[in-house]
Amino acid sequence: MSGSILYIHGFNSAPESKKASQLTSVMQQMGLGEQLRVPALHHHPRQAIAQLEAAIGELGSPLLVGSSLGGYYATWLAERHGLKALLVNPAVSPHRMFDGYLGTQTNLYSGETWELTHDHVNALAELEVPAPRDPQRIQVWLQTADETLDYRYAETYYAACALRIQAGGDHSYQGFARQLPALLSFAGVAAEQYQAIDFAAL
């Protein structure tokens, strides 16, 4: 359905994260809450992908909005289903970065602890796709002071997509709420539906 959005949170994150909460608030204010899904993803990539596939089935052709590891998932799903995607400080080849992180992990929001294993890493490797080359379909929002991921990896990998690079910021993407009109427009939401919303107050 036009205007539907699937938000894909990052590693050890949750629907309670700031960006997800801001997007949820705006969709509800517009009366479009039913057109948004923000699943609490399982820590294992295969189970997370199954959850996301189910959400796509419910929404039809949603805009995929992926943050960090969620951006990696969104890239695979966008290529698989021909969907539009907006990637916020996305992870590139995360399986290559996790070697030093094997072992016990804690979700930042739920407090759940779990074990990051080689099986997780192998499952992530299976989701790697050739660099997308469609600026009409894929936008990538980067901030240069991301303390978790070097933005230059994404800048290079997504060079053929629509890049928006801001100086400064951080991994959480500072000022996300103020950029939501651009996100909603990309999702196919008409401007008159959100022109009365005070995005700066989110």
pLDDT tens figures, 48-100: 999 999 999 999 999 999 999 999 999 999 999 999 999 999 999 999 988 77
Q: What is the CATH number of domain 5-197?
A: 3.40.50.1820
The candidate with the shortest Cα–Cα distance to 172, out of 94, 36, 74, 68, is 68
Q: At what angle do helices 18-29 and 180-187 cross, to 10 degrees?
A: 60
pLDDT of residue 196: 93
Is residue 98 within 8 Å of residue 106, measured between CB atoms?
no
Indicate if the pLDDT at residue 27 is higher than 80: yes
Q: What pTM does this model have?
A: 0.97
CA distance 33 to 2: 13
CA distance 15 to 7: 9
